[in-house]
Amino acid sequence: MEGGFVLIVGDSTAGKSRLAYEAMRVAVPDFLLLQARPSEDLQTFSSTVCALRRCVVWFDEFDQFLRAGGITLQMVNAMLADPERQVVLLASMRSKEYDRYSARQRDVPDAATWRAGREVLLHAAEPVELDRLWSPREIERAQGAGRDPRLRAAAQASDRFGVAEVLAAGPELLNDWMHAWQTGEHPRGAALVAAAVDCRRMGVHRPVHTSRLVALHEIYLSARGGAVLRPEPLADALAWATAPGAGGQ
């Protein structure tokens, strides 16, 4: 097994992280696994990797590592430099984020950081494009999965959604969110979720403190009707918004 830089690109809930995990489990089960975090000192982290003989470095949501002060081409080259070592850099990112580094991209607020990130991405092998919708052959194999009824059920819904989407309960969670806006349901909880979603869409990857979401959600609640919706108490809204879903269980 030679080392290298593998990049998986696909839509949200397409199954990128699961694919990365299964690929590691099958191809390099005895390699040491290191999971990088964008908040740590990546220069020190890359030096640690350089001291190892056989390892997989997992960069989930790789776009977070491409920001100012993040991973550089020099770090990537250093981690992969020695042919006597077996180091695999395994990264995944959403298609929308990957497209931000296209040669056609013109709306770049920080050109230097954008160029540095693009250099890193171009150093990877040809990206593994993971389609949200499975092929007919893949659907047929999933429907024949005798040991896992969840997989069979997800395959049956594949005419509208991706199998991985259904397994992660994505369509169900979206439906619950939309339904929650109705009068007497969970409109305050829906407003909290709306505030959190917009924070993420604006590029905030770190956890947003509850107090900030509580302050922001009033804007969304008011826009939908406010008191007319008979919003539930805040404690109930927070409990609803943070309740674990059934996906992946």
3-state secondary structure the chain: CCCEEEEEEECCCCCHHHHHHHHHHHHCCCCEEEECCCCCCHHHHHHHHHCCCEEEEEECCHHHHHCCCCCCHHHHHHHHCCCCCEEEEEEEEEHHHHHCCCCCCCCCCCHHHHHHHHHHHHHCCCCEEECCCCCHHHHHHHHCCCCCHHHHHHHHCCCCCCHHHHHCCHHHHHHHHHHHCCCCCCHHHHHHHHHHHHHHHCCCCCCCCHHHHHHHHHHHHHHHCHHHHCCCCHHHHHHHHHCCCCCCC
15 within some domain: yes
Q: Is residue 249 part of a domain?
A: no
Whether residue 248 is contained in a domain is answered as: no
Do 79 and 197 reside in the same domain of the chain? no
Kindly state whether residues 81 and 155 are assigned to the same domain. Answer: no
- Does residue 150 fall inside a structural domain? yes
Same domain assignment for residues 189 and 93: no
Say whether both 173 and 151 belong to one domain: no
- Give yes or no: residues 99 and 208 share one domain: no
Looking at the domain assignment, is residue 21 inside a domain?
Answer: yes
8 & 57 share domain: yes
Same domain, 206 and 104: no
The confidence score (pLDDT) of residue 109 equals 74
Residues 8 and 112 in one domain: yes
Are 109 and 138 part of one and the same domain? no
Predicted confidence pLDDT, tens digits, the chain (249 residues): 678 999 999 998 888 998 999 999 999 999 999 999 998 999 999 999 999 999 999 999 999 999 888 999 999 999 999 888 999 999 999 999 999 888 776 666 788 888 899 999 999 888 999 988 888 888 888 887 667 778 877 887 777 788 888 888 888 899 999 999 999 999 999 999 999 999 988 888 788 999 999 999 999 999 999 999 999 999 999 999 999 876 554
Q: Which of 102, 130, 158 is the last residue of a domain?
A: 130
pLDDT at residue 246, as a whole number: 65
The reply to whether 147 falls in a domain is: yes
Domain containing 224 equals 169-242
Residue 247: inside a domain: no
Residues 137 and 123 in one domain: no
- What is residue 83's predicted lDDT score, i.e. its pLDDT? 83
The pLDDT value given to residue 160? 78
- pTM for the structure as a whole: 0.78
Q: Do 153 and 202 have their domain in common?
A: no
How many structural domains does the chain have? 3
